[in-house]
Chain A
């Protein structure tokens, strides 16, 4: 069980960190640059939240297979297959959890007052300084919310993980697959233990989402 738990933690932490950085970059790009079909692009980022995990898992499995251009290119470069590997699992998690990071961060970027940025520029702050001293402190709450959501979602992910990663111990067997296996083999005690761990992690994530978001500003909260 510990092996599956650590694998899930590794997958969740990597997914969370990557998605926060990637989605922040995408949100700023989409907000400040105007180009045709922008709304369609945003809809594509949000689409995974509406698709059943089996549909998404099926297509990802198809795309990751060595016979497809993406999977074939990956195999050509690394001599490994994307499907049924941790790397494939991570890529699938990034796609599947993307809406949960994109939604709050898109709201965060939309709530940034352009005047704050302009004031920083006029008072001599560079773009990078403005990002760290003005933008980041004002969207901290949204980043905490997005991180908690993505982390909890990835910890409990089942359908896509099973479709893309299969059930390889130490490689792709996450805690949720472990629970499934335990139930299948009628080992309810083990299933209970693993489920309890997942519930604790989910509760912790939700607490961070609510308490962390509340302490964003020393003075005012986004949630009260």
Chain B
């Protein structure tokens, strides 16, 4: 793998008429996959997490082979040390906030300090509540903390801010950028260029199952100037 690159994914997958064919090299920090609905962003995340299998390809991350179809290697999601945050329905409804976060700790070798992180994420006061007793923004904070707390090798987020209102969305994104220092690849898929601009250190533009361009904030700025200006 190239110097400085922590994750290398090469994947081909056919799903009916849709065909995914990507080659991604990612570094530590925020990596954004930006593209319209149905372009294969979520499938890419699912392949990285091990929840879906690629027809052909490989995934190397932090010196480990997570799958390689040629060598017939497939590490199941349980053993990949990845964490996943969805758009919604992240929290287990029968567990309290604390129990939901501890759910991620049970199999973790080197977890972060729960109380310190809960304070950072502003959820200390709601630790004993159930998911239906907290707001949408609080739910996403809890889901993000649950993703981070286990100290995973890869953090995957599938449209994590889409269901939130404007203020909540930006307060959580700001917290994520300022309060956390990731030395792992954090992969966020989104269809929102503004979110990508706000978080993106590296941005991968995706269309029809392929990565069409690689860039950074400036690339987004050029492509979506009017929209960013408006926001």
Give the interface of A toward B (CB within 8 A).
113, 115-116, 118-126, 133-134, 137-138, 217-220
Contact A123 B92 (CB under 8 A): no
Contact B51 A121 (CB under 8 A): yes
At the interface, yes or no: B20 with Cβ under 8 Å from chain A?
no
Residue interface mask B55-95, A partner, CB < 8 A = 1: 00000000000000000000011111011101001101110
For the side of the interface on B, what is the size category? Answer: 20 to 34
Contact B82 A137 (CB under 8 A): no
Q: How far is the CA of A133 from the CA of B103 in the complex (A)?
A: 10
Give the interface of B toward A (CB within 8 A).
49-51, 76-80, 82-84, 86, 89-90, 92-94, 96, 103-104, 106-108, 129-130, 132-133, 150
Closest to B94 in A: A137
Contact A122 B83 (CB under 8 A): yes
Name the distance in Å between B134's Cβ and chain A's nearest Cβ. Answer: 11
Q: Which residues of B contact A122 (CB under 8 A)?
A: 49-51, 77-78, 80, 82-84
Contact A220 B132 (CB under 8 A): yes
Contact B132 A219 (CB under 8 A): yes
Contact B92 A134 (CB under 8 A): yes
Contact A125 B107 (CB under 8 A): yes
Name the distance in Å between A1's Cβ and chain B's nearest Cβ. Answer: 43
- Does more than half of chain B's interface fall in helix, strand or loop, or is it mixed? loop
Q: Which residues of B contact A125 (CB under 8 A)?
A: 78, 106-107
Q: How far is the CA of A133 from the CA of B51 in the complex (A)?
A: 19
Contact A126 B51 (CB under 8 A): no
Contact B94 A119 (CB under 8 A): no
Contact B93 A217 (CB under 8 A): yes
Q: Which residues of B contact A119 (CB under 8 A)?
A: 84, 86, 90, 92
Contact A124 B132 (CB under 8 A): no
Would you give 20 A-B contacts (Cβ < 8 Å), ordered by A?
A: A118-B49, A118-B51, A118-B77, A119-B84, A119-B90, A119-B92, A121-B77, A122-B51, A122-B78, A122-B82, A123-B106, A123-B107, A124-B79, A125-B78, A125-B107, A138-B93, A217-B94, A217-B130, A218-B94, A219-B133
Q: Which residues of B contact A126 (CB under 8 A)?
A: 78
Q: How far is the CA of A144 from the CA of B130 in the complex (A)?
A: 22
Q: How far is the CA of A124 from the CA of B84 in the complex (A)?
A: 12
Name the distance in Å between A218's Cβ and chain B's nearest Cβ. Answer: 7
Closest to B82 in A: A122
Name the distance in Å between A89's Cβ and chain B's nearest Cβ. Answer: 37
Given contacts A118-B51, A218-B130, whether A123 and B90 have CB atoms under 8 Å apart is no
Q: Which residues of B contact A133 (CB under 8 A)?
A: 103
Contact A124 B133 (CB under 8 A): no
Name the distance in Å between A115's Cβ and chain B's nearest Cβ. Answer: 5
Q: How far is the CA of A219 from the CA of B91 in the complex (A)?
A: 14
Contact A123 B93 (CB under 8 A): no
